[in-house]
Structure 1
Amino acid sequence: MTHVRVKGFKIFRDRHGKMRCYHRITNIKIDLEKAPLGTAEFMAECSKISAAFQAIKQQEPKPGTLGGLISGYFAEEHFQERSKATKREYRMCAQVLHPIRDTPVSKIDTPLLAAIHDKLAKKHSWDKANRVRNFLIQVFKFSIPKGLILKNFAEDVIKKPRPRDTPEAYRTWTYEEVQTALESASPQLRAALAMIFCTGQDPSDALEFRKDQVDDGVIWKGRNKTNVGAAIPISSVLEAELADAPAHDAETLLASSKGTPWTYDGFASAWQRLRKKLEKAGKVAPGLTPKGLRHTMATWLREAGQDEREISDLLAQDSKVMGLHYSKNAALARKNRKTMQVWEGEYVRRAQKAKVSNPQEKQSNPDKEDKPHA
């Protein structure tokens, strides 16, 4: 038999005397029984594998290019340790920049980035343009010490201002909107929305609260985004909501309809379907977001007279809060219990106001009147 040679492929006889063929780089195997060695079918398989490999190779970022810098940053521990939400955000920014990934680093300067910033604002939005700018600042920040770029040129690009007629990004919910959304949601989605509403945490954090993080009525967790320690008292409102939620065996306090922990994407999809349904029916005003529930708690507490420090401690908003790092600070928990009591009082006040405004609204089960629900 004539020995067949194909560039890029390893063809040999194994220890059992059987002929084998593999692509050298990808190690993809060719079934020589279906495509016998040297036949047209065999050559077609080799061509298909080689073409697929070349297509993939062309997608890889080239050294010394913008794409190369981005790829290098994604391999950094700094990126790997970011929250899931931040990783999604940065990958979105990288995808936006994909068409210009082959731009040589030597060509990158502030005027070029400013021009790109302007084009993104026109093509997408002022907000997306600013998010891409912030992403590039991080990429260049970690590229400079490695000698891959001379300066953080993105820092000198002026951010686009928010247009005056742009709605608030995470607007505050009204009490009526909260009740409408909860009453219209599935039991699992209702529990998730109630968790965000009653703790004031980011959705990505609230979805991940575990059962073993609850001790003496307090949820102890570091925020995903900042790793600032959180000591969140479980209010009577949240306690009632969780008691009514479907039972599940997940390690998290919340679970999807499958009985497994929520993924952020799964939660976001379920919420978007509900939001569109409620907006179409005219039951809520446009612009509701789950993160807006975090702003709602902050707003209600401010209106109830709480100061910024008290609100920040409860919401774990910034690095000034003592980082728990999974330890437990009893003083912070006691302080947050008092703040949570203020929030519950504000909740009751708004609920009573809503009843006065809607006297014909059907009363809930009298047996449950002493059991506050969100």
Structure 2
Amino acid sequence: MRQVRVKGFKIFSDRHGKMRCYHRKTGHKIDLQKAPLGSAEFFAECETIRAITEAQKAKAPKAGTLGELIKSYIDTEHFQNLAAATRRDYRRCADFLEPIKDTPVHVIDTPLVSGIHDKAAEKIGWRRANMVRTLLSEVFRYNIPKGLIMSNYAKDVIPKRRPRGKTYANRPWSIEEQEVVLSHAKPHVRVALALMMNTGLDPSDALKLRKDQIDGNTIWGVRGKTGEEIAIPISPTLQAALNRIPEHEAETVLGNSRGEAWTYNGFSTVWHRFKTALEKEELIASGLTLKGLRHTVATTLREAGLDERRIADLLGQKTPSMARHYSRSANLADKNRETMATLEKEIERRTKTVKPSAKSVKPDQNEDKA
């Protein structure tokens, strides 16, 4: 057999005497059964591997560019530990930034990032533009210690505000809407909705909740998105709903009509069809979402007078600011009315207790004459 050599490829005989071939840089193996060594098929396969390698090399971010910074951040353990939905959103933002990935690091500054932010708002909307800003802030923050960039140039870029008049997503449900939905839902759907209504669990966390996470009258777990621990007492209302769960063999608390664990997409599909049918019958208004139940719990607690820290602890939020976000539509009119009444009473009390001072300044006589 004549010896064949191809630059960039290792061709050798293994310990069993069988010929092998692989590309040194990528490790890509060539099947010598389908493309015999030295044949036209073999050399064609070598050229294909070379072409793919060169294309990938050209696509890879260049050193000292925005693309390299983004890749460096995506390779961090911090990024890998983010919730799957957050990683997906960040990758979409990175795709938006793909056309400017070769921007040299030395030209990046706050005005440039602000311009990118403005352009993103025009192209993909204010919400995703703010996410692009957040991604860049994280990219810069994690690359500063590596010496790849000098400062976090996204930090001082002001986030875009929600357009005036635009309705909020995931609005809270009214009591009437909750009752209508529960009364019309099938048993395996009803208990899932009841679990979300009475705990504030994120839909994905509620569907993944395992039976062994319920100990006595408490739900123990970790919120998927933030990693925060949660401990939720089971109320009598929720316990009554759990007692009516159809029997199933899944390890999760909730199960679908086949007795299997729900997938998020599966439940979302069932919910959408069910909700649409109720809307057509005009039994509910449009705009109900599963995440809206989380906002409902926060709003209800806020209206009941609970502080943001306690609400955040229940929802598994790291900061009270997120609890404030979830309860932003709370109707505080009654409580604020009580607050104002208290303020007036206190002002009146202080007015009565303060006696005129003997050293008080008398009105200027000239002013009286005027």
Question: The TM-score by the shorter chain falls in which range?
Answer: 0.7 to 0.9
SS of the residue aligned with 2:155? Answer: helix
Contact 1:217 1:233 in 2 (8 A): yes
- 2:340 is aligned to none
CA–CA distance in structure 2, aligned partners of residues 257 and 98 of structure 1: 44
Tell me which residue corresponds to 1:17: 17
Stretches of 4+ moved more than 6 A in 1?
A: none
Shift of 1:187: 4.9
Following superposition, the deviation at residue 133 of structure 1 comes to: 0.6
Q: TM-score, normalised by structure 1?
A: 0.75
2:359 alignment partner in structure 1 = none
Alpha-carbon offset, residue 308 of structure 1: 4.1
Go from structure 1 to structure 2 and tell me whether the alpha carbon gap of 1:16 and 1:298 turns closer, same or farther (over 3 Å shift).
closer
Q: Which residue of 2 aligns with 1:173?
A: 173
CA separation in 2, counterparts of 1:7 and 1:112? Answer: 44
Q: Which amino acid aligns with 1:21?
A: C
State the TM-score, normalized to the length of structure 2: 0.75
SS in 1 for 2:288: coil
Q: CA RMSD for the aligned pairs?
A: 2.8
Q: How many residues align?
A: 320
Residues 1:97 and 1:304: Cα distance change in structure 2 (over 3 Å): same
CA distance in 2, matches of 1:277, 1:103: 50
Say whether the 8 Å CA contact 2:309–2:319 is kept in structure 1. Answer: no
> Identity over the aligned pairs, expressed in percent?
57
Larger Rg: 2
Aligned to 2:120: 120
1:50 alignment partner in structure 2: 50
Distance in 2 between the 1:267 and 1:104 partners?
A: 45
Higher relative contact order (CA 8 A, sep 6+): 1
Matches within 5 A, 1:140-155: 140-155=140-155
Superposed CA offset, 1:86-143 (max 9, x none):
3233223223223322222222111221111111111111111011111211111111
Give the AA of the match of 1:242.
Answer: L
Kept in 1: contact 2:117–2:133 (CA 8 A): yes
Q: 1:308 to 1:23 in 2, by over 3 A?
A: closer
Shift of 1:269: 4.8
Change beyond 3 A, Cα 1:35–1:314: closer
Of 282-291 and 213-222, deviating more is 282-291
5+ residue gaps, structure 2? 321-370
CA 1:67 to 1:254, structure 2 compared with 1: closer, same or farther past 3 Å? farther
Which stretch shows the higher mean deviation, 262-271 or 166-175? 262-271
Residue deviations 1:184-242 (CA, integer Å, cap 9, x gap) = 65654443332221101222332332322222211122333444442211223322333
Asked if the contact 2:312/2:319 (under 8 Å) is kept, the reply is no
Asked if structure 2 preserves the Cα contact closer than 8 Å seen for 1:222 and 1:230, the reply is yes
- For residues 13 and 254 of structure 1, the distance between their equivalents in structure 2, rounded to whole angstroms, comes to 56
Name stretches of at least 5 consecutive residues in structure 1 with no aligned partner.
Answer: 321-374
Q: Distance in 1 between matches of 2:266 and 2:57?
A: 32
